[in-house]
């Protein structure tokens, strides 16, 4: 009887080594991890450790889409090869029907939002953390002889500079006071704007409605709204070197059939997609090796106005069709173009109104510093 009682009183910590428990926790979907802190002090310590959030992020799939409905309500859509679910979350701003917020991009679990013309917001939907960013000095320079604000000649980017452990917001714009283009960068570590001397692309208005940058491999990428030539089509800004460069689109891309391309991140690969108006299909060009021009590979999806979002764990293409598409809802195609699943019951915003991101427990460097200061103050008070 005593042996049975002793056996029953054993906890999971007596059966499994701590290293194995740590590995198991890293495999739990991040949205469920926070609740596991309550299991024991050990689990709470492991999850709250300085390296846990970063390790978990590096092996998590990018299969969550965030969008704003009516400019004010935030929704998260979780996608995989088996299911698609949608939930409403509290956005980091007042819920007004005409608040005019828009999604500008994502990086490492954070979403960049803009409220025209007042301010920017960096938000982690999983943790609820948000940081409001003023860019009033830029807004003032966008004023043009009393005719209001110009948004057409703006480039926005949001990314992470691993060399400095810093998140950067990049804004390129036309300064109508000086009649010249400006490039500015906000460091979230120092909470300060820096004017950069990098040579800007000309003209900026080529990037009109595609002004949101895509972060990949330490750089932000843009493609012109209207592609006129396949050479040097994709603009790149390296966050470490603070320099611009370009990548050419595949030569086989027929500009006459696909004049309005967009960028996507499929797996870890840069992708260029556009509607083929002649065949009612969507062309998806995937660069299998970064900056290797010969690695461009074409996939054709038999769906008009299909927007690829991410890859499933099986390597299938998860995307959506909006009001302009042949099929509305979230869809999964394999690389041969076969439709595998169609989730029709979820709301789909129009193209460009959402962002794909990887949920994370990561904190901004400035937020980490603030927490450390608070801890020191508490110790001093004690």
Beta strand segments in 94-218, E:
101-107, 110-115, 119-123, 130-134, 154-161, 166-175, 180-187, 192-196, 214-216
Kindly report, residue by residue over 140-182, the tens digit of the pLDDT. Answer: 666 544 444 444 467 889 999 999 999 999 988 877 777 777 8
What are the tens digits of pLDDT across the range 246-295? 999 888 876 666 777 889 999 889 999 988 766 788 999 999 999 999 99
Instruction: For 99-111, write each residue's pLDDT tens digit.
Output: 677 888 899 999 9
In this predicted model, which residue has the larger pLDDT, 243 or 313? Answer: 243
Sequence-distant (6+) residues with CB within 8 A of 15 are none
Closest Cα partner for 204 from 150, 140, 275? 150
pTM recorded for the entire structure: 0.84
Question: Angle CA(167)–CA(236)–CA(77) in degrees, nearest 5?
Answer: 60
Query: Which burial class, exposed, middle or buried, applies to 119 when counting CB atoms under 10 A from its CB (0-12, 13-18, 19+)?
Result: middle
User: 151: which DSSP letter?
Assistant: -
pLDDT tens per residue, range 37-52: 888 888 888 888 878 8
Domain residue ranges in the chain: 2-53, 254-351
Radius of gyration of the chain (CA): 23
Residue with tokens 């370009």: 246
Which H or E run contains 263?
strand 262-266
């Amino acid at each position: 009887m005593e042996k049975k009682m002793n056996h029953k009183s054993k906890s999971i910590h007596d059966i499994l080594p701590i290293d194995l428990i740590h590995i198991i926790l890293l495999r739990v979907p991040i949205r469920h991890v926070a609740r596991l802190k309550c299991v024991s002090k050990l689990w709470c310590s492991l999850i709250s450790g300085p390296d846990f959030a970063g390790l978990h992020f590096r092996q998590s799939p990018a299969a969550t889409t965030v969008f704003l409905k009516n400019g004010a309500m935030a929704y998260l859509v979780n996608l995989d090869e088996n299911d698609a679910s949608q939930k409403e979350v509290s956005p980091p701003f007042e819920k007004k029907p005409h608040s005019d917020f828009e999604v500008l991009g994502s990086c490492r679990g954070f979403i960049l939002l803009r409220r025209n013309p007042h301010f920017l917001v960096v938000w982690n939907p999983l943790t609820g953390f948000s940081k409001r960013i003023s860019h009033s000095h830029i807004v003032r320079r966008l004023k043009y002889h009393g005719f209001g604000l110009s948004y057409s000649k703006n480039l926005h980017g949001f990314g992470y500079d691993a060399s400095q452990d810093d998140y950067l917001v990049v804004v390129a714009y036309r300064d109508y006071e000086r009649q010249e283009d400006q490039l500015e960068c906000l460091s979230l570590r120092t909470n300060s704007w820096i004017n950069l001397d990098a040579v800007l692309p000309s003209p900026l208005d080529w990037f009109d409605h595609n002004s949101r940058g895509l972060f990949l491999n330490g750089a932000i990428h843009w493609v012109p709204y209207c592609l006129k030539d396949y050479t040097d089509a994709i603009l790149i800004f390296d966050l470490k070197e603070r320099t611009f460069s370009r990548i050419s689109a595949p030569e086989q891309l027929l500009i006459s059939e696909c004049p309005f391309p967009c960028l996507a991140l499929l797996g870890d690969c840069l992708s260029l997609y556009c509607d083929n108006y002649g065949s009612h299909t969507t062309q998806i060009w995937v660069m299998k090796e970064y900056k290797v021009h010969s690695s461009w590979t074409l996939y054709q999806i038999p769906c008009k106005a299909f927007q690829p979002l991410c890859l499933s764990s099986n390597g299938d293409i998860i995307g959506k069709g909006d009001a302009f598409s042949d099929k509305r809802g979230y869809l999964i195609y394999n690389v041969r173009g076969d439709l595998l699943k169609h989730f029709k019951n979820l709301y789909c915003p129009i193209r460009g109104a959402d962002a794909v991101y990887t949920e994370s427990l990561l904190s901004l460097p400035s937020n980490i510093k603030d927490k450390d200061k608070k801890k020191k103050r508490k110790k001093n008070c004690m």
